[in-house]
Structure 1
């Protein structure tokens, strides 16, 4: 095509027109804006771009106009208008721009088995380095989360391509060895930053408009290893391992993301405290986080199967099982099925029966309305709807924690899956099996929890023989780092694990 513009993001950002390298603006934000528009390939609201790249004390709209002014001479040439901007939105037309990431974005793991060797080698050469290497914007957390997400995705895909080539070239040791050396280097890089080492077909849209803002990261010896396993119905589940000692499995709860939770101001203190003296295994249930977002079945039965798959994949013979919120019921069901593997059962903030099974007509009507609202309002840029959930989950949070949780809700689960999960939680009922729990059980519940009423925790303690109940003085469904209730929670859990492990 005459005047074809090529934008390469798999490495340092560069732009070429008819093979000639073009000079780019010195402003890193302007270059980042160009890369973002190129990869996304669809109209972006000016309001969203301002929020992603510029801080409120500045004049975001003026800054955006200045950056677009700098980009137009680069992308609009020879009569081709590629950059379209009106009062509301901005678009870099994907039909007139070639982006090296696009070939990767549409590639699926199954494709690697059918593509010819020449095509695979061509794909391998597109990786000149890390996704947008060197284009880090420390003061633009939304852009950074987006960049890191694509960096991780590109690294996993690169490794999968290299593995396919190594298998394909077994009869050509010299060529295979060259790819093995590259794979070894990537493996070391991934180990250094704690990224998943395997690639599964991405179910999350690669063009989400905003992402969870990552809080400042300080140097630390903390590290986690993210792994993947398959359930009996073929769903890929992501799980993470950190710490050393007796194993404790935290059954998955709604809205989790192994990678973002790791540095979050809402969950980091949980992870650090629980892994200080134990080996902590966490996982994202189907429909959430790094696990498959496309799953035919999302149900209580499937949640139990996810837990069983993770325990088996982690090679655990005996462990402490921690249930949080709806995963308390999942943990109870697992403990009844596999009592020989669970040394102790910890239940925090859970319920015995879901909202539909509690048969309160007013509550059912309320939750049905909430399900409809979730499907309609969850994915919108305006976090007002999701903030209603945030205010219920962590009413004692500061602004940073609330903002983070607002965005986590969107990045960790799609509106459709959020609705499906909410429906599935309504069908939970383990009331008939509580008396069958034969292992030591510790039940904890926040006294003023607005998400799951205090009475729900007492029902677990009443129905499970010999269960010990601890009343925590808090209104937060997710206990925060600076409250005495969290310190009490950790003391009780630590003592219980030591007594039962």
Structure 2
């Protein structure tokens, strides 16, 4: 017997197309969804922490839910829900998920529009509807991640068909509208919708759409793409040739322990490469059009084939991971550059990403041609913190764990103010929300702990490539003296400063422009 699980829209289970009546307990249905979708073993304790952290006897709650689900799912023919003394797991090998059809469509190379339309329409909806548990913040963070993955998948499918030159313009126009609906503030989606509308429905329709999109983008505080509104002959080249904004390509690579790492490239492949190591915090989609890093990233991608990635535990990479450690950060960088097919490349590291870059350059001197470090430190705070500083830092971790996912940004504001003291209200609001959407409270604490024990002091002398160390003179999080001392221990390293108090540079400030100039000058130096 085949089990069908519907995760898009109301959560449902069917056996041989007949509905399985699930328990009325929303928590039990949520548990089933989590076990089935993740498809791996979970400790009983972790499940208790995720679903029953506020009950007096969480193990009893877990046992009750499992007993209800076993009676519904297990049979003489197949044991789908399994457990032992310490762990619980769901055997998904004989299960068909509705999202599987979207995954297959995303990986197909043919352009069968009839089937593609049918799949698109039958897999529309809000994933895991009816499985929400508002009081379980860590579980809801996982739900949000699953929903974001679904949205990203649909956006990628719509983007592929909208830009498929083998399709008629009317077909491309339909898919461009779908892409824009999924990604309403994507400059690439907006331009593609304008372009396809121009050739599918004519100039007046395209001009009307462009005006609507420009107003919408400006209200949101986002720069709209440059729409070409001049009259053109029907056989004229596509507007995309001149005005299309740079679009990043997002892909995934598997870490050595099976963790999925999201990485992106942007800029012409024939341009010189530039790799940016991940740092706190990344989200390939959210920070590409962000008011903070977007100008910096887009400027660097103009002359380079720019490669970056999301750290494990955040962004589009897997959040539910066993290890968030410095060694794993370095391993993930190794996997990304191999997946990108890069043999030799300059490496950019910001904040703790600088320490990852230093370790990688020390381990692989034959591959790193130049090293650029910004806001760098060579050891975490635990190495020289006073007892009072340790208590203060650990108190912040407790606040982070309890308040990270809340609507009130006060807890996340601790980081916003120290990272970017010169940020205005809009930028602070964006960064507060960005942090919440980028990782879970549990992972935020795990990151902070991993950063506290970083130690690459012995690696500094092993760096063999030309190195540029840039630091904000007024950095409130990592003092300029830290960057200066680090540069003194790397043979031949250049030290430069920018006039800012920000640990993470704001795209609008002159220090950001100066940083790009320093990087570009350094990369051009033989």
What's the TM-score bracket when you normalise by the shorter of the two chains?
0.5 to 0.7
Q: Take 1:223 and 1:247, find their aligned partners in 2: how far apart are those partners?
A: 16
Which residue of the partner structure matches residue 294 of structure 1? 320
1:224 aligns with 2:248: yes
What is the Cα deviation at residue 120 of structure 1? 6.4
What is the Cα deviation at residue 320 of structure 1? 0.7
Consecutive aligned runs of 4 or more in structure 1 exceeding 4 Å deviation: 6-10, 108-114, 119-126, 129-133, 145-150, 153-159, 185-195
Aligned-CA RMSD value: 4.0
Alpha-carbon contact 1:131-1:150 (below 8 Å) kept: no
SS of the equivalent of 1:492 reads helix
Which residue of the partner structure matches residue 128 of structure 1? 121
Aligned pair in 2 of structure 1 residues 109, 393: CA closer, same or farther (>3 Å)?
farther
Normalization by structure 1: what TM-score?
Answer: 0.62
Normalization by structure 2: what TM-score?
Answer: 0.59
Q: Take 1:116 and 1:394, find their aligned partners in 2: how far apart are those partners?
A: 43
Which residue of the partner structure matches residue 483 of structure 2? 457
What is the Cα deviation at residue 127 of structure 1? 3.7
Which residue of the partner structure matches residue 393 of structure 1? 419
Q: Take 2:411 and 2:475, find their aligned partners in 1: how far apart are those partners?
A: 20
What is the Cα deviation at residue 486 of structure 1? 1.4
1:238 aligns with 2:262: yes
Instruction: Give 5+ residue unaligned stretches, structure 1.
Output: 1-5, 11-40, 43-107, 134-144, 160-181, 196-212
Aligned pair in 2 of structure 1 residues 489, 109: CA closer, same or farther (>3 Å)?
farther
Q: Take 1:151 and 1:217, find their aligned partners in 2: how far apart are those partners?
A: 23
What is the Cα deviation at residue 126 of structure 1? 6.3
Match of 1:339 among 345, 365, 371: 365
1:434 aligns with 2:471: no
Which residue of the partner structure matches residue 502 of structure 2? 476
Moved more, 148-157 or 263-272: 148-157
Q: Take 1:294 and 1:150, find their aligned partners in 2: how far apart are those partners?
A: 17
What is the Cα deviation at residue 448 of structure 1? 0.9
Match of 1:365 among 391, 413, 433: 391
What is the Cα deviation at residue 358 of structure 1? 2.6
What is the Cα deviation at residue 367 of structure 1? 1.3
Q: Take 2:426 and 2:125, find their aligned partners in 1: how far apart are those partners?
A: 27
Could you give the per-residue CA deviations for residues 436-482 of structure 1, whole angstroms, max 9, x where no partner exists?
A: 11110000000111111112211221110110000111001111233
Aligned pair in 2 of structure 1 residues 447, 131: CA closer, same or farther (>3 Å)?
farther
Q: Take 1:426 and 1:309, find their aligned partners in 2: how far apart are those partners?
A: 24
**Larger relative contact order (C-alpha < 8 A, sep ≥ 6)?**
1
Question: For residues 245-394 of structure 1, what are the structure 2 equivalents within 5 Å?
Answer: 245-394=271-420
What is the Cα deviation at residue 318 of structure 1? 0.7
Aligned pair in 2 of structure 1 residues 282, 480: CA closer, same or farther (>3 Å)?
same
Alpha-carbon contact 2:409-2:432 (below 8 Å) kept: yes
Which residue of the partner structure matches residue 139 of structure 2? none
Question: For residues 121-270 of structure 1, what are the structure 2 equivalents within 5 Å?
Answer: 127-128=120-121, 131=124, 150-154=150-154, 215-216=221-222, 218-219=224-225, 220-244=244-268, 245-270=271-296
Alignment size in residue pairs: 349
Q: Take 1:285 and 1:468, find their aligned partners in 2: how far apart are those partners?
A: 28
What is the Cα deviation at residue 218 of structure 1? 1.0
Which residue of the partner structure matches residue 96 of structure 2? 115
What is the Cα deviation at residue 389 of structure 1? 1.3
Alpha-carbon contact 2:273-2:305 (below 8 Å) kept: yes
Moved more, 436-445 or 354-363: 354-363
Could you give the per-residue CA deviations for residues 182-228 of structure 1, whole angstroms, max 9, x where no partner exists?
A: 9xx98997799779xxxxxxxxxxxxxxxxx9743512522110000
Alpha-carbon contact 1:336-1:433 (below 8 Å) kept: yes
Instruction: Give 5+ residue unaligned stretches, structure 2.
Output: 1-5, 11-28, 31-88, 103-114, 127-144, 160-170, 190-218, 226-243
Match of 1:443 among 469, 493, 500: 469
Alpha-carbon contact 2:354-2:376 (below 8 Å) kept: yes
Could you give the per-residue CA deviations for residues 162-182 of structure 1, whole angstroms, max 9, x where no partner exists?
A: xxxxxxxxxxxxxxxxxxxx9
